[in-house]
């Protein structure tokens, strides 16, 4: 498999909700463009009917000092346009490869270690999610339970609300919402934060308001129509990040956790247990 490259596209997609209307025009261009051209601010401002100042503000929101620095990085890792194909299998595999590349670009190793420390230091972990996100949460529960974590996955919105009274500073609460618009999950995370729990949100939307009640935000890779599950399961980018979190947690205390994993497997296989 080819080496993964850090690209700007998933960063732009994650920030999309925070852009102004003009900045979204710029974002749409850079997300969908596959051709090499004159990317100077003068040329792009004419092409998109925006001011050069808009391009500068857009670049700064993406984490760069200015448009020139943004374009330097954009051209550096700009992918070649893939030829069109009628091979549906290749289309699906290309989608998965793209999501993997984007997941790598969004991954923050130090953030993973901070979350692992929080899970290790606290007594209980709760995972909130609805629909496909809830199914991913159930998978996460099973995996971490095998490593000795006291964890529960909650997919019913009424139980999420009732569970809030059980939370305190000894809890980690992980909410999963790819769109960032699942109000019951967002509301429950806010409540968990108010009760002192360590809160984590897995989402593709990097909105400022989330930082008011989330200790950590894990950004998920997305593609157009991903949420509708038309071709690629919306669980895929969630499971990728869960797997990365899982392996970090396993490696943090490998000997003890591997032993716990073996014990749980033995318990499942023992008919008299």
Alpha carbon distance 148, 21 (integer Å): 48
Tell whether 90 is covered by a domain: no
pTM over cut 0.85? no
Tell whether 259 is covered by a domain: yes
Alpha carbon distance 91, 118 (integer Å): 39
159 shares its domain with 70: no
Alpha carbon distance 89, 98 (integer Å): 14
Tell whether 201 is covered by a domain: yes
Number of domains in the chain: 2
**pLDDT at residue number 257:** 58
**pLDDT at residue number 265:** 62
The DSSP element (H or E) to which 148 belongs, if any, is: none
34 shares its domain with 163: no
111 shares its domain with 77: no
222 shares its domain with 128: yes
**Angle at the Cα of 54 (from 48 to 64), degrees rounded to 5?**
115
76 shares its domain with 184: no
Could you read off the pLDDT tens digit of each residue along the chain, which spans 273 residues?
344 455 788 889 889 989 999 999 999 999 988 888 999 999 999 999 999 999 999 999 999 999 999 999 898 877 544 444 456 777 778 888 888 989 999 999 999 999 999 999 999 999 999 999 999 999 999 999 988 899 999 999 999 999 988 899 999 999 999 989 999 999 999 999 999 999 999 999 888 899 999 999 999 998 764 444 456 788 999 999 999 999 999 888 766 556 556 656 666 666 554
Tell whether 197 is covered by a domain: yes
The domain in which residue 60 lies consists of 9-81
**pLDDT at residue number 254:** 66
**Residue 22's CATH number:** 1.10.10.10
**pLDDT at residue number 215:** 97
Tell whether 4 is covered by a domain: no
Alpha carbon distance 56, 69 (integer Å): 10
34 shares its domain with 72: yes
């Amino acid at each position: 498999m080819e080496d993964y490259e850090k690209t700007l596209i998933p960063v732009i997609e994650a920030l999309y909700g925070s852009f102004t209307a003009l900045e979204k025009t710029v974002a749409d261009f850079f997300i969908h463009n596959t051709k090499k051209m004159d990317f100077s601010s003068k040329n792009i401002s004419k092409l998109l009917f925006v001011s050069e100042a808009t391009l500068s503000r857009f670049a700064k929101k993406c984490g760069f000092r200015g448009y020139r620095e943004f374009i330097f990085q954009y051209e550096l890792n700009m992918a070649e346009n893939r030829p069109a194909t009628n091979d549906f299998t290749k289309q699906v595999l290309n989608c998965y490869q793209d999501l993997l590349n984007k997941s790598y670009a969004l991954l923050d190793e130090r953030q993973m270690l901070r979350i692992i420390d929080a899970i290790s230091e606290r007594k209980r972990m709760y995972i909130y999610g609805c629909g496909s996100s809830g199914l991913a949460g159930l998978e996460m529960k099973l995996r971490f339970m095998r490593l000795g974590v006291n964890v529960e996955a909650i997919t019913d919105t009424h139980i999420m609300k009732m569970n809030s009274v059980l939370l305190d500073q000894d809890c980690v609460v992980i909410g999963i919402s790819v769109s960032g618009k699942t109000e019951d999950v967002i509301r429950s995370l806010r409540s968990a934060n108010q009760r002192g729990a360590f809160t984590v949100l897995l989402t593709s939307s990097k909105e400022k308001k989330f930082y008011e009640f989330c200790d950590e935000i894990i950004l998920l890779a997305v593609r157009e129509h991903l949420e509708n599950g038309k071709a690629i399961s919306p669980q895929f980018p969630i499971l990728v990040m869960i797997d990365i979190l899982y392996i970090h947690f396993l490696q943090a205390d490998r000997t003890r956790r591997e032993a716990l994993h073996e014990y749980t497997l033995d318990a499942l296989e023992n008919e008299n247990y």
